[in-house]
Amino acid sequence: MNPIHAARAAGQQIWLDNLSRSLINSGQLARHIEAGVAGVTTNPAIFHKAIADGHDYRPALDALRGEQLSAEQRYERLVIEDVQRACDAIRPVFDASRGDAGYVSLEVSPALADDEAGTVAAARRLRAAVGRDNLLVKIPATAAGVRAIETLTGEGVSINVTLMFSPAHVDAVAGAYQRGLEKLAAAGGDLSRVRSVASVFLSRWDSLIDKQLDETGTPEALALRGRAGVALARQAYQRYLARFHGEGFATLAAQGARPQSMLWASTGTKNAAYSDLMYVEPLIGAETVNTLPDATLAAFADHGQVVADSVTRDVAAAADHLAALARLGLDVNALGERLQADGLAQFATAFAKLLELTA
């Protein structure tokens, strides 16, 4: 059993954090799926790289430039075709799992991060344009995004919530999902058809925290380096268990509602001194997803070690670690807002550059 299948047997889905036309045309996506990959995530940076580097897009883009379309409309036409083809390729996984796995994510424009009505409208439009049951519309966990998530979940839209960085984000997003399901249930909707994942970004935590710990420079501070991301994930998973396997969700579960799975994102190790699987091996857990960039996926397939429920290990130590950071003046929720703002800015920059390619 390869590590990807072993993780699935332990309850975790491994998704690929990449998509391009060449990945599909070359058959590599199909090979990933055959090896056990159970989903695909995308973002503006991924599509910018794909279109900038990919010869596969040039004929279609040249044809689209002959139509009276905006740069954003051309971009959407290009990537919607990719997403549709990826959805079709992984549809057997979706069918075999009865809608638990086999999804492809497509993100709304980063320009809508603070626009609740615009996010709702864009999500409806993209969902209709892709026209696949196994699409997850990707929406950031901003204040406006959280309100949009509640509305869209209430309409039966399946969502990948992105750019989550703190316990406060985890709680806000889970609450919006649950309230949305309650609205859908009240309207007589089929709760079993809704799928949601909540994406907690990890490596960016250690990049930020390590820098601040180095600046502090005390032995206590230096001993805390390289552990913030995993500690945050383990605490997030405890929140997940308490909410979605507690009494508060029992009524919805009895009506067929699925828990909102924790998804570990930003899992490529940024510091070469750390393990290349530092955000994978310690975070195996039931009903979780880990989305891996190509290099991390290759590393996991090559030498990954799967220990069931590793995400539930050392939970007290994870809480102690976050408390130790707080004692040093590092407020996890406040830093989470900073990281989310930085992430939005990075995606907005990538999106702007992407539209330059399709102008």
CATH of the domain at 244: 3.20.20.70
Instruction: Name which of 264, 236, 205, 231 is nearest 39 in CA terms.
Output: 264
Does 239 score more than 90 pLDDT? yes
pLDDT at residue 85, as a whole number: 98
pLDDT at residue 315, as a whole number: 95
Q: Exposed e or buried b for every residue in 303-317, given b needs 16+ CB within 10 A?
A: ebebeeebbbeeeee
pLDDT at residue 1, as a whole number: 82
Q: Which domain holds residue 265?
A: 3-358
Q: Rounded mean pLDDT of 312-335?
A: 95
What lies within 8 Å, CB to CB, of 28 at 6+ separation is none
Q: Amino acid identity, residue 25?
A: N
What total of structural domains would you count in the chain?
Answer: 1
pLDDT in tens, 172-225: 999 999 999 999 999 999 999 999 999 999 999 999 999 999 999 999 999 999
pLDDT in tens, 297-322: 999 999 999 999 999 999 999 999 99
Q: Rounded mean pLDDT of 244-253?
A: 96
User: What dihedral angle (degrees, nearest 10) is formed by the CA atoms of 292, 293, 297, 303?
Assistant: -100
**Active site includes 353?**
no
Of 138, 211, 270, 353, the active-site residue reads 138
Could you tell me how far CA 123 lies from the centroid of its own chain? 16
In angstroms, the CA 336 to CA 199 distance is 13
Strands 39-40 and 103-107: parallel
Measured CA angle at 125 (ends 182, 128), to 5 deg: 85
